Amino acid sequence: MISMAFTMLSHDGPKFLAMVLAIAMAAFLTQNQASFLVSFLAMSDSQIRDVREADLWVMDSSTECFDQAKPLKDTAAEIVRGFPGVKWALTLLKVDAPARTEAGKLSSVTILGVPEQSKVGEPRMNIGDSSVLDERDSAVIDPGGMALLYPGETFRPGMRIRIHDKWLQIKGVSNASPPFTGFPIIHVSHSTAIQLNRAESRCTTFVVGRFEADADRGKVTREIRAATGWKALTREEFEEASSRFYMDQGVPHLFYITITVGLIVGAAFSGQTFLMFVKENARAFTTLKVLGFTHGQLAVMVATMAGIVVVLGLALGTMLAVGTSFSAATMPFFRSLYLPWQVTLLCCISIGLITLITAGFAFKKVLNLEPADVFRS
């Protein structure tokens, strides 16, 4: 019966192919878009996670996410340090500035100052050592920045970048996580960052710190907030706030729409084609009924046909999605792109369920075929 189902299905090659491709398209689109969504959401708080040492973040009350921050007064770190339950606190300076290479390539960049003593926020390195930041006018760049500012080039010592009117030596490539903004991430020493901070007189973007091990974190942040009027958040709270900020901008909706359209168009097209297939094979199905196929046997046939289509389609679509995410991940801006297995599972289950419903309709169509029509031409 299973081989009969396959023979009938593959006899109508174009429809068979159309159904498999439609399911594959739905599987690919949903997984691809869901993986982008997951990866973008991961990017929305990546820079917070990159400051590994800090679990306390203090910022101006109007600051909503890492990328857009209003500076604090320069005594802020000292003030935060004074609260009970705070082990240490120091200034993090983030500067957004236009940059230019010797070849004339332009881009806005995000500059992060690494404190000379504590090295808090120091990047992990792909090429070179972060100790180069101690050297005068030196910087390290992230892989996304390399790709954007030096397209087609590989890192070599002696590369230079001009920020405002200052030339910096690029002495290494960091492993900084891709930021949501897509801007290159340039790490410099804190003092260099201050020199590049032309748009602002204040040099404290965030105060980052650490709670005492036994501190009541909620109490500490509440006290800082009450006393200073600033926003004091645990790392987790700030990550969540940053993600929510981007989600509220409507970024995910684009993905939701594509995912929904992919599911509906792919599954509906495939389902429609399947119903058409059953209709065109009505005579064959009617004959099978008359020759003694029970409802159970007909159900097995229809289910087998739907199963073959959905398994082939899902396999093809998933292969495409995995392939795409691997090949995209070789591009610096998408280097954090990944396809979590949960996404694949969820997409396959949804498409499987939609197919099951369609197969149900198709089976109903078969059941409703009038056996006596077998004598009519």
Partner 1 sequence: MSSVPDLTGAVTCASIWKSFGEGEAKVDVLRGVNFMAALGEMTFLVGPSGCGKTTLISIIAGLLAPDSGTVSLFGERLSLLAPRERILFRRQYLGFVFQQYNLLPAFTAAENVAVPLVAAGWGRENAIGKAREVLTHLGLAHRTELVPQLLSGGQQQRVALARALVHEPRLIICDEPTAALDHRSGESVMERLATSAIHPDRAVIVVTHDSRVFHFAHRIIEMEDGLIRSSKKIESLNQP
Number of residues that bind partner 1 (CB under 8 A): 26
For partner 1, which is the closer residue by CB, 219 or 364?
364
Would you count residue 276 as binding partner 1 (CB under 8 A)? no
User: For partner 1, what does the binding mask look like between residues 295 and 314, x meaning CB under 8 A?
Assistant: x-x-----------------
Are the CB atoms for 183 and 109 separated by under 8 Å? Answer: yes
Question: What residues from 10 to 39 belong to the interface with partner 1 (CB under 8 A)?
Answer: 10-12
How many whole angstroms separate alpha carbon 167 and alpha carbon 138?
Answer: 9
Note whether 282 binds partner 1 by CB under 8 A. no
Does position 291 bind partner 1 by CB under 8 A?
Answer: yes
User: Is residue 363 close enough to count as binding partner 1 by CB under 8 A?
Assistant: no
Q: Applying CB under 8 A, does 103 fall inside the site for partner 1?
A: no
Among positions 245, 293, 334, 363, the unique one binding partner 1 when judged by CB under 8 A: 293
Question: Binding partner 1 by CB under 8 A: which of 26, 90, 288, 347?
Answer: 288
- Segment contacting partner 1 by CB under 8 A, of 31-39, 188-196, 279-287, 308-316: 279-287
Closer to partner 1 by Cβ: residue 18 or 173: 18
Asked if 253 touches partner 1 (CB under 8 A), the answer is: no
- Inter-residue contact 140 to 81 (CB < 8 Å): no
Burial of residue 82 (CB within 10 Å: 0-12, 13-18, 19+) is exposed
Q: Which is nearer to partner 1, 47 or 286 (CB)?
A: 286
DSSP letters along 210-275, please? EE-TT--HHHHHHHHHHHH-SEEEEHHHHHHHHHHHHHHTTHHHHHHHHHHHHHHHHHHHHHHHHH
367 lies in the site for partner 1, by CB under 8 A: no
Residue among 226 and 291 whose Cβ is closer to partner 1: 291
Query: Is 352 exposed, middle or buried, given 0-12, 13-18 or 19+ CB atoms closer than 10 A?
Result: middle
Listed residue (305, 339, 343, 353) closest to 20, CA to CA? 305
Contact status, residue 181 vs residue 52, Cβ threshold 8 Å: no
Single out the residue of 154, 201, 294, 368 in contact with partner 1 (rule: CB under 8 A). Answer: 294
Residue 274: which residues within 8 A CB-CB, separation 6 or more?
19, 305, 306, 309, 358, 359, 362
Smaller CB separation from partner 1, 4 or 316 = 4
Residue 1 lies near partner 1 (rule: CB under 8 A): yes
β-bridge pairing 94-101 and 185-189? unpaired
Work out how close the CB of 291 gets to partner 1 at its nearest, in angstroms, rounded to a whole number.
5
258 binds partner 1 (CB under 8 A): no
Beta pairing, strands 94-101 & 138-141: unpaired
CA–CA gap between residue 95 and residue 110 (Å, rounded): 6
Q: Does 7 bind partner 1 (CB under 8 A)?
A: yes
Ramachandran bin of 164, using left for φ above 0, alpha for ψ from -120 to 50, beta for the remaining angles = left
Residue 19 beta carbon to partner 1: minimum distance, rounded to whole angstroms: 16
Q: Is 372 in the site for partner 1 (CB under 8 A)?
A: yes
Residue 4 in contact with partner 1, rule: CB under 8 A? yes
Output the smallest distance, CB 290 to partner 1, in A. Answer: 6
Nearer Cβ to partner 1 (14/292): 292
8 A C-beta contact, residue 179 and residue 46: yes
Enumerate binding residues for partner 1 (CB under 8 A): 1, 3-4, 7-8, 10-12, 283-284, 287-295, 297, 371-372, 374-377
